[in-house]
Structure 1
Amino acid sequence: MAETVYYLFILLFIKSVLQATDGQKQEKHFRDDYTYLEETNSFYKIHMMPRSWENAKKRCLLEGATLFFPELSIEADVVLDHLKKTLSLSASIHVGISSLLTKGVFITVSGDALRDVYNAWAPGEPNNYKDEEDCVVMRSDGKLMDAKCANKLPFICKKTKIEMDRKWNEECNSPYLDYEYNEDLGRCYKFHLYPRSWKDAVETCDAEQAYLAIINSQLEAEHLVNITANAPKDKIKGKYKRGIVHLGFIYDKTIGDWKTIMGETLEQAGYAEWGNNQPDGGVNMNCGSMFYNGQLNDVSCEVYRFFFICERENIFRSILNNK
């Protein structure tokens, strides 16, 4: 009887959670680290780690969003108010406006002419000081200034609800539609067809609320091999290394052993099948990968670009399947 009550409680709890997460659009949800603002019908995430304008733009794109710029004065007011309430400080932020394509012609990251959106310049701006200011920042009073693109500042990423209303990845409980759920493993995976360095691959997965894939079993190794075999890799042109896929493990010098990005040794994680004579790179090959056949390999963390696989969990679906 007690066991029956326990499972009933678990199922009711999962049902209530799934009702809150399934069909996120009705609940005005993009990602759990974004905040929905009713006045603008959009989602925002404040990034306090300063970045250059280009890297801020890149980070927002990786998250499936865009570098914020105010479309109307009311949006500027609402977002600034949210910024001040959230952080209790006044700081200039990068906004998604620049003149990088044509000097002196400012356009948004969405391709809008500045005259068609919010354009309240501070007095004397833009001034292109020393001919070095091609990017735009917004001060705490809402006024715009041109500035060096290399300046590192906080920034905000934005996703409109109109974009979110289009589709949702129900199986992976995610806005990223190209993740595919594997029933046997209870996880979602995405094979990235844009080769990156290991460090850039880690950032890309993190931006998608995922992590660089970790092999926890022979079954998972076989699944990653199948994902890799079925990916249209041969269509990708350019300079990058073939035959290898980045994975989420790295050499830990403090213990003299390889560990996953979750902190386990490969043996603890459940899979440590190295390729012939691997690892063989010494001090310069401290990051992890696998050959297309699933055997592990060491690679440089920054020099070479490879394909990679991101992994994320849908915990509630996994619990349901286990019941």
Structure 2
Amino acid sequence: MCKTYCFILTSVILLQGKATGGPVRMGYEYMPEEDAWLRLHIEPAIWPDARLRCHLEGGALASPTTSAMTKALVAMLAANKMTMRHAYIGVHALLSKGEFMSMEGIPMGNLSARWREGEPNNMKNEEDCVVLDGAGEAIDVSCSTPRPYFCRKESTRMIVNKCGTTADGYKLEPRTGSCYKFHLVPRTWHRAAMACQAEGGHLAVINSNKEAQALKDIFGEHPITSIKGGNVLEANVGIWDWNEHGEWLTIFGQTLSEAGYEGWRHNEPNNVEKEFCGAIDRDGYLNNCPCDRFALFICEVTPK
């Protein structure tokens, strides 16, 4: 088992800067047999959130598609001293009850991993997701229990760009020295923050009038008529009240004055409808908004 894992780690060292064109994305390790990268998220998440996180990172929940993949997943559990624990894989029966398949649509019977004896048992008729144990066996479980999980990314998604991230869509802004990405898929404020972090960045934090103007210009590149879904007049950025409902800070804990920009829209913040998260409007002004409102958002990455 150690042999397989050591081979994977050796490949990471040899291929850094070659297969990726720069630093390896945090936590991912190269698997030469599959020409793919794997990551074991040890921070537990429910299956839907695990699926989303892998997707936001540019990959998918990993499935034991081959014997080499199964060995690699088991080896990662062992290397993290998790042989007695389980981790979510990309196998589920969410589309059709009892019909387990991988994220790629491969039926369970055609995958490398086999069911543990007595599984699947669909306890309480609510076990539609699957975990892999330290012996490489599959167990059906409830999707709503937080567990560690595996992500897989193809090599073509691991090229590090000039902004220092593997995520597409980031552009360098000379006025600020940061890279920004305008997300056209609306998400709630916290989901937006999750998306930015998965891409190696964070919700944009405005540190000057110059940066506010830069974000206003980025917003202006996307006219209202080109946007479908969500709030089209504002975009989520990196300020909120940290659930204190009164004091507005950046996601890094600075006051807006310390950060360098306090350009609120007239009569804002007013907290009319439990508006505890922050956004920027098309004129470059800040506004408070409900955290669960679906809106566009802007991510920021500092080039490395």
- Shorter-chain TM-score range: 0.7 to 0.9
User: 153, 164, 182: which is aligned to 2:157?
Assistant: 164
* Coordinate RMSD, CA, aligned: 2.4
The residue that corresponds to 1:176 in the other structure is: 167
In structure 2, how many angstroms separate the alpha carbons of the residues matched to 1:26 and 1:252? 38
| Structure 2 counterpart of 1:140, one-letter code | G
User: 256, 265, 277: which is aligned to 1:266?
Assistant: 256
Please give the secondary structure, in 2, of the residue aligned with 1:149.
Answer: coil
Please give the secondary structure, in 2, of the residue aligned with 1:77.
Answer: helix
In structure 2, how many angstroms separate the alpha carbons of the residues matched to 1:26 and 1:66? 22
| Structure 2 counterpart of 1:82, one-letter code | M
| Structure 2 counterpart of 1:170, one-letter code | N
User: 63, 71, 90: which is aligned to 1:77?
Assistant: 71
Q: Is the 8 A contact 1:30 1:43 kept in 2?
A: no
The residue that corresponds to 1:8 in the other structure is: none
Matches within 5 A, 1:220-235: 220-231=211-222, 233-235=224-226
| Structure 2 counterpart of 1:205, one-letter code | C
Q: Is the 8 A contact 2:207 2:260 kept in 1?
A: yes
Please give the secondary structure, in 2, of the residue aligned with 1:294.
Answer: coil
Q: Is the 8 A contact 1:22 1:170 kept in 2?
A: no
* Shift, 1:121, TM fit: 1.1
- 1:209 matched to 2:200: yes
User: 40, 45, 48: which is aligned to 1:51?
Assistant: 45
The residue that corresponds to 1:3 in the other structure is: none
Segment of structure 1 superposing worse, 274-283 or 29-38: 29-38
Matches within 5 A, 1:62-211: 62-87=56-81, 89-161=83-155, 163-164=156-157, 168=159, 170-211=161-202
* Shift, 1:189, TM fit: 0.5
Q: Is the 8 A contact 2:20 2:160 kept in 1?
A: no
* CA gap 1:268/1:23 in 2 versus in 1, 3 angstroms: farther
The residue that corresponds to 2:234 in the other structure is: 244
* CA gap 1:216/1:47 in 2 versus in 1, 3 angstroms: same
Q: Is the 8 A contact 2:234 2:282 kept in 1?
A: yes
Please give the secondary structure, in 1, of the residue aligned with 2:263.
Answer: coil
* Shift, 1:215, TM fit: 0.8
Q: Is the 8 A contact 2:56 2:198 kept in 1?
A: yes
In structure 2, how many angstroms separate the alpha carbons of the residues matched to 1:275 and 1:122? 59
* CA gap 1:71/1:253 in 2 versus in 1, 3 angstroms: closer
In structure 2, how many angstroms separate the alpha carbons of the residues matched to 1:88 and 1:191? 38
Structure 1 residues not aligned, in runs of 5+: 1-19, 316-323
| Structure 2 counterpart of 1:32, one-letter code | M
Q: Is the 8 A contact 1:24 1:30 kept in 2?
A: no
Q: Is the 8 A contact 2:121 2:140 kept in 1?
A: yes
The residue that corresponds to 2:287 in the other structure is: 297
- 1:25 matched to 2:14: no
In structure 1, how many angstroms separate the alpha carbons of the residues matched to 2:148 and 2:291? 26
* CA gap 1:22/1:311 in 2 versus in 1, 3 angstroms: farther
| Structure 2 counterpart of 1:243, one-letter code | L
Segment of structure 1 superposing worse, 95-104 or 256-265: 256-265
Q: CA-to-partner distance for each residue in 1:134-174, whole Å, 9 max, x for gaps?
A: 2111111111122222222111111132x337xx3532122
* Shift, 1:313, TM fit: 0.5
Segment of structure 1 superposing worse, 280-289 or 205-214: 280-289
Q: What's the TM-score once normalised by structure 1's chain length?
A: 0.82
Please give the secondary structure, in 1, of the residue aligned with 2:39.
Answer: strand
In structure 2, how many angstroms separate the alpha carbons of the residues matched to 1:285 and 1:154? 33
In structure 1, how many angstroms separate the alpha carbons of the residues matched to 2:181 and 2:228? 20
- 1:314 matched to 2:303: yes
* CA gap 1:233/1:123 in 2 versus in 1, 3 angstroms: farther
Please give the secondary structure, in 2, of the residue aligned with 1:87.
Answer: coil
User: 60, 64, 85: which is aligned to 2:54?
Assistant: 60
In structure 1, how many angstroms separate the alpha carbons of the residues matched to 2:272 and 2:81? 45
In structure 2, how many angstroms separate the alpha carbons of the residues matched to 1:201 and 1:77? 34
Q: CA-to-partner distance for each residue in 1:171-227, whole Å, 9 max, x for gaps?
A: 212211211111231111011111111111111111111100011111111111111
| Structure 1 counterpart of 2:294, one-letter code | R
How high is the sequence identity, in percent, across the aligned residues? 33
